[in-house]
């Protein structure tokens, strides 16, 4: 997406990249704004969704990724969503299923990113490094991480957070906050400006609605502690879209029960893109893909146009 506006990429299947290393990305934003990336499948892709420049008002939602390969270091976990540029702000990441979201510091800082109702396990078979759902490096500030379902017993994750001065290992923590960038000083503001509310993780074995994880005392861009534990179904969809068919909506979150993704307390259902991938015939491990055969209606969000800035009540 090169110097674009209001782009829409949906109902698509991405398989493989040429070299499976740096700059072998899937969907790359460079830059865009007010765009929608929805209901896509990414298989055997290095960094499936990369924000490599600004993308204010963009939404990446209900995408499924598997086997995020990275050939220079096969044991290193390549996350589903990469924040990989300075000036990134006001992005909504909602309802996805994959390894996680990575806020790096290679090209600059990131601010005001909302990550809502995703199932991020922080792990893939054969991966032992960077295996955390949320590695947020220094200068990843004023994030909103709300209603997600996090971690995997197969890793296993055994530490809630690794922050400057704290204990635990980087590779087995649910959150890495302001630590881990060896060429940059630790950043305690990553944690103190972060809003976390209603996330379920396998270390806590519970959904956490904790007042101390809400930045209510900041002098700028503070959030009041929410008055209830009730979360909206979506931050951009007005209701259940037609292409969800019989899949529960919302599919992921602390208020979801009876989910069919194992080991997360029933709080996550497989989203349409995951069900499509799993049901598709495979030839040489590559899916035979036809959107018309996968979804109740074509056109992704039931005819939705790309939204403007997501309407949220956080930060």
How confident is the model at residue 168, as a pLDDT?
Answer: 85
pLDDT at 155 over 90: no
Give the three-class secondary structure for 279. Answer: helix
List pLDDT tens digits, range 220-279: 999 999 999 999 999 999 999 999 999 999 999 999 999 999 889 999 999 999 999 999
If you compute the radius of gyration of the chain from its CA atoms, what whole number of angstroms results? 18
Distances (CA, A) of 127 to 68, 70, 135, 171: 10, 10, 15, 10
pLDDT at 297: 64
Closest to 295 in 3D by CA, of 40, 61, 45, 119: 40
206 vs 186: CA distance, rounded Å: 29
- Looking at residue 305, its pLDDT comes to 31
- Taking phi over 0 as left and psi of -120 to 50 as alpha, with beta for the rest, 57 belongs to left
Segment 101-115, tens digit of pLDDT: 999 988 889 999 999
Task: Show the tokens assigned to 128.
Answer: 């032992």
Q: How far is the C-alpha of 35 from the C-alpha of 39, rounded, in Å?
A: 13
Residue 313 pLDDT class (50, 70, 90 cuts): very low
- Whether pLDDT at 129 is above 80: yes
Provide the pLDDT for residue 307: 35
């Amino acid at each position: 997406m090169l110097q674009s506006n209001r782009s829409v990429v949906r109902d698509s299947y991405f398989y493989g990249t040429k070299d499976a290393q740096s700059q072998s990305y899937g969907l790359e934003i460079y830059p865009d704004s007010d765009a929608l990336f929805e209901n896509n499948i990414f298989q055997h892709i290095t960094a499936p969704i990369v924000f490599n420049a600004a993308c204010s008002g963009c939404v990446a939602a209900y995408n499924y990724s598997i086997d995020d390969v990275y050939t220079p270091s096969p044991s290193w976990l390549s996350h589903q969503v990469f924040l990989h540029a300075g000036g990134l702000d006001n992005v909504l990441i909602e309802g996805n299923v994959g390894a996680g979201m990575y806020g790096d510091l290679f090209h600059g800082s990131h601010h005001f990113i909302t990550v809502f109702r995703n199932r991020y396990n922080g792990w893939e078979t054969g991966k032992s490094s960077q295996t955390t759902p949320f590695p947020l490096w220094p200068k990843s500030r004023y994030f909103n991480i709300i209603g997600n379902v996090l971690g995997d017993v197969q890793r296993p994750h055994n530490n809630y957070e690794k922050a400057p001065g704290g204990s635990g290992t980087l590779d087995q923590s649910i959150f890495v906050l302001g630590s881990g960038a060896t060429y940059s000083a630790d950043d305690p503001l990553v944690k103190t400006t972060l809003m976390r509310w209603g996330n379920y993780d396998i270390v806590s074995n519970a959904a956490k609605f904790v007042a101390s994880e809400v930045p209510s005392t900041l002098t700028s861009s503070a959030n009041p502690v929410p008055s209830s534990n009730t979360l909206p179904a979506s931050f951009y969809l007005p209701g259940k879209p037609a292409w969800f068919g019989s899949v529960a909506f919302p599919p992921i979150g602390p208020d979801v029960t009876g989910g069919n993704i194992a080991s997360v307390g029933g709080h996550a259902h497989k989203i349409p893109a995951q069900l499509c991938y799993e049901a598709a015939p495979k030839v040489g491990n590559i899916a035979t893909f036809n959107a018309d055969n996968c979804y109740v209606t074509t056109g992704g969000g039931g005819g939705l146009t790309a939204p403007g800035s997501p309407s949220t009540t956080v930060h």
